[in-house]
Amino acid sequence: MNSTGSVRVRFAPSPTGFLHVGGARTAIFNWLLARHTGGVFVLRIEDTDAERSTDEMIREILDGLEWLGIDWDEGPHFQSRNVDRHREAAERLREAGRAYPCFCTVEELAAEREAAIARKESYVYGGRCRAISREEADRRRAAGEPHTIRFAVPAGETAWEDVVHGRTAFENRTIGDFIVLRSDGAPVYNLAVTVDDLDMGITHVVRGDDHISNTPKQILIYRALGADPPVFAHVPLILGPDKSKLSKRHGAIAVTAYRDQGYLADAFVNFLALLGWSPGDDREVMTRQELVDAFTLERITGKSAVFDVEKLEWLNGQHLSRLSGREVAAIAAPWFERAGIGRLTEPQGDGDWFANLMALVKTRSRTLHDLVEQARPFFPGPVEYQPDAVEKFWQDPSAALAALAVAVDYVESEDRWGDLEAMEGRLRSLAEERGVAAGKVMQSMRVALTGQRVSPGIFETLTAMGAALARERLAAAREWLSRRVAGD
Ligand code: GLU
């Protein structure tokens, strides 16, 4: 906590790539902590690597966060604008005797590294330039001799109480005197992050396990600058189904790819929040507010979590089916426009029709993509008869034609559209009159109307479709079947 006692967290992506699912989960955990505690969520773009950072990736990251509904209270700050602060801090460390200029050349360092490898030791800088007197170092610096600035790591160990992993300690001799400023004056990640986190009053650093080895260096810098380190929580990595680190090999890892595949932002946030965290009870389908209410860092598990697309699909279906038809309509409308399917207000001419249709198809859909496919037959235009539907219900074209003849008369004579029970009663009695099994009529009609083997209830389908379109579809199906009977 800072002096005002409030939590301040940050998400600090490097714009060298897309917002991937691991980064998004880090953002979500930070955001949930901020929202749960009434704290502040800061967005900081770590663009100090000018060569690899691009404006396009910055836009992609902001787009991804926006889609997820992860809003920030401060920022985006751009790390590259704070370089003077980073250099100042390096100078302060130098003044305090906690950092020193290193004049070793690239060749000297390479030779040191090779010698360590030959001894089968892991390499850390040997500290040769630490011994150079301040006067000599100043003289050489003033003469323009190229140098980096290294942190003088003290003896001992550096430890912290990680919220996720408990006490975590590194022997300082395994860290070695690390560079904080490069010879061109560019700050190194560990310095830049620490100075920015301090300047921004960050109280909790929640990030991936891949940063654990950076943390002792950052803690050493905090202390050398006379500051208390924040609370650290390192979140286990996300794995693919084969238990290796999630990567492109496992499928899409860019967050926006999931948007484009038709997942709901709320479902995706729910899914990512459950990768390595749980509410402590058996809840899985959770709204954003429920996640905010339940979230604590202490419930992050220390074990890696597997990215399971089937679970994501299931969760998405659950979220879809819990929305009202009207809510689904609002989210899905652009999908229908993109798919070029009819006008949304047909055939009844009001928005209710579309909302009702969404209410009808949402329970059978796992993604927005599914939803469009389920809803497609309700819009004008021909339907495609799915081979499995034909195989199952139209195997005998003559029998199907006989069933559809009943269906046509039924549609012509029905005048209680929307009263599902009355509709069914009427169809059953007509079928009985004609000596055709009612089930056959309904099944054949389903294929004719939707092209599919499964659909919402046939009377709901008819009602949503309207008599005119139903008539058209039945006529087209009869033609198709007649051609079959004729052996075309
Ligand atoms: N910019 C770093 C990254 O994208 C994150 C730094 C941090 O969270 O401390 O990996």
Kindly report, residue by residue over 220-241, the tens digit of the pLDDT: 999 999 999 999 999 999 999 9
Whether the Cβ atoms of residue 48 and residue 80 lie closer than 8 Å to each other: yes
Residue 381 has pLDDT above 90, yes or no: no
The candidate with the shortest Cα–Cα distance to 179, out of 99, 111, 117, is 99
Residue 344 has pLDDT above 80, yes or no: no
Segments making up each domain of the chain, as ranges? 323-378, 387-487
> Distance between CA atoms of 175 and 214, rounded to whole angstroms?
10
Q: Is the CB of 22 under 6 A from ligand 1?
A: no
Pairing of strands 99-102, 74-78: unpaired
The pLDDT tens digits of the residues spanning 359-376 come to 999 999 999 999 999 999
In percent, the amount of the chain with pLDDT more than 70 equals 97
Give 198-221 as a DSSP string.
HHTT--EEEEEGGGGGGHHHHHHH
Give bridge partners of residue 101 from the DSSP assignment. Answer: 149
Of 135-139, 300-304, 443-447, least confident by mean pLDDT is 300-304
The candidate with the shortest Cα–Cα distance to 238, out of 299, 300, 178, 183, is 300
- The token duo for 3 is 């002096």
Arithmetic mean of pLDDT over the chain: 94
- Band (pLDDT 50/70/90 cuts) for residue 252 is confident
Whether the Cβ atoms of residue 332 and residue 264 lie closer than 8 Å to each other: no
Mutual angle of helices 351-361 and 368-375, in 10-degree steps: 110
The set of catalytic residues is 248
Q: CA-CA distances (angstroms) from residue 165 to 115, 151, 157, 229, 240?
A: 35, 26, 17, 17, 22
- The token duo for 357 is 């249709």
- The pLDDT assigned to 2 comes to 47
- The token duo for 176 is 């070695």
- Band (pLDDT 50/70/90 cuts) for residue 270 is very high
Residue 3 has pLDDT above 70, yes or no: no
Please give, one letter per residue, the 3-state secondary structure of 97-144: CCEEEECCCHHHHHHHHHHHHHCCCCCCCCCHHHHCCHHHHHHHHHCC
**For residue 14, how far is its CA from the centre of ligand 1 (angstroms)?**
7
Strands across the sheet with 8-11, in order? Answer: 74-78, 40-45, 8-11, 204-208, 231-235
The pLDDT tens digits of the residues spanning 464-486 come to 999 999 999 999 999 999 999 98
Q: Is the CB of 44 under 6 A from ligand 1?
A: no
**For residue 7, how far is its CA from the centre of ligand 1 (angstroms)?**
19
Q: Is the CB of 14 under 6 A from ligand 1?
A: yes
Closest ligand 1 atom to residue 197 Cα is: 9
Q: Is the CB of 47 under 6 A from ligand 1?
A: no
Q: Is the CB of 17 under 6 A from ligand 1?
A: no
Q: Which amino acid is at 484?
A: R
Q: Is the CB of 206 under 6 A from ligand 1?
A: no
- The pLDDT assigned to 248 comes to 86
Contacts of 455 (CB under 8 A, 6+ apart): 374, 377, 446, 449, 461
> Distance between CA atoms of 199 and 191, rounded to whole angstroms?
12
Average pLDDT for residues 126-133, to the nearest whole number? 95
The candidate with the shortest Cα–Cα distance to 265, out of 216, 202, 330, is 330
> Distance between CA atoms of 88 and 288, rounded to whole angstroms?
41
The pLDDT tens digits of the residues spanning 7-51 come to 999 999 999 999 999 999 999 999 999 999 999 999 999 998 888
- The token duo for 393 is 């219900």
Residue 302 has pLDDT above 90, yes or no: no
> Distance between CA atoms of 249 and 241, rounded to whole angstroms?
11
Q: Is the CB of 214 under 6 A from ligand 1?
A: no
Residue 5 has pLDDT above 90, yes or no: no
Given the structure tokens 């560019």, which residue do they identify? 186
- The token duo for 17 is 């790539």
Whether the Cβ atoms of residue 319 and residue 266 lie closer than 8 Å to each other: yes
**For residue 61, how far is its CA from the centre of ligand 1 (angstroms)?**
13
Closest ligand 1 atom to residue 13 Cα is: 4
DSSP code for 38: T
Give the number of residues written for the chain.
488
**387-487 CATH:** 1.10.10.350
The candidate with the shortest Cα–Cα distance to 462, out of 318, 309, 356, is 356
> Distance between CA atoms of 130 and 102, rounded to whole angstroms?
7
- The pLDDT assigned to 346 comes to 46
pTM for the whole thing?
0.91
- The pLDDT assigned to 488 comes to 66
Angle at 376 between CA 373 and CA 380, to 5 degrees: 165
- Band (pLDDT 50/70/90 cuts) for residue 343 is low
> Distance between CA atoms of 285 and 321, rounded to whole angstroms?
11
> Distance between CA atoms of 294 and 464, rounded to whole angstroms?
40
Q: Could you tell which of 78, 193, 198 is best to mutate to test the pocket of ligand 1, judged by most ligand atoms within 8 Å of the CB?
A: 193
- The token duo for 330 is 């609002």
Going by alpha carbons, the residue nearest to atom 6 of ligand 1 is: 12
